[in-house]
Amino acid sequence: MAIHEIQGFEVPFLPSGRQFANTWTDFEPDKRVVLPRGWKREGRRPLPEAIVWLKDVAVELRDGVKIRADIFRPASRENERLPAIIPWSPYGKTGTGIFFSHDYPYLVAPASNTSGLENFEGPAPSEWCPRGYAVVQADVRGTFNSEGDQYFFGTGEG
């Protein structure tokens, strides 16, 4: 156990294991994938239009820590500046949405209504890219393939 000083307070810190695994997609830094209109995972809804998926892009934070993010864009607008929706949670990025919620009886959308690209409690790229948005799903600091240590509810995370 190590002691970290955070905003003037000593905090006991125990590093977690780094053997995180995502649900169905491999770690592939900077890979560009074009998912064509109609692409679908088994038992899921097909994409209404083609989406470009930039996988595991390194994003450097102000303290030098690099986190990994998946970026989804409408293929028809790949080279345009678009507004971005950035969901933020420690539960993983792409494909973790239904992984954490499929057993809940109060689900808003069953798996058959989703593409499988969404993250837990996040917006679906299959819904928002066709509306002209980019969706940026990150593995937050200290989770999955992102560097650093995860601290819940701190100002640094904000």
Number of separate helices (H) and strands (E) present in the chain: 2, 7
The pLDDT confidence band at residue 144, using thresholds 50, 70 and 90, is: confident
pLDDT tens per residue, range 27-78: 899 999 999 999 998 888 899 999 999 999 999 998 899 999 999 999 999 9
> What average pLDDT does this structure show over 91-103?
66
Q: What is the pLDDT of residue 44?
A: 85
**Measured distance CA(85)–CA(122) in Å, rounded:** 9
The domain limits of the chain are 18-139
According to DSSP H, which parts of 77-148 are helical? Answer: 97-101, 125-128
Q: Are strands 2-6 and 9-13 parallel, antiparallel or unpaired?
A: antiparallel
**Measured distance CA(22)–CA(25) in Å, rounded:** 6
Exposed/middle/buried for 105, CB within 10 Å: 0-12, 13-18, 19+? exposed
Residue 125 has pLDDT above 90, yes or no: yes
Cα atoms in the 13 Å half-sphere on the side-chain side of 44:
19
Looking at per-residue pLDDT, the higher value among 34 and 96 belongs to 34
Q: Which residues contact 35 (CB under 8 A, 6 or more apart)?
A: 47, 50, 51, 52, 53
Taking every pair of C-alpha atoms in the chain, what is the biggest distance, in angstroms? 53
pTM for the full predicted model = 0.81
Q: What is the pLDDT of residue 109?
A: 64
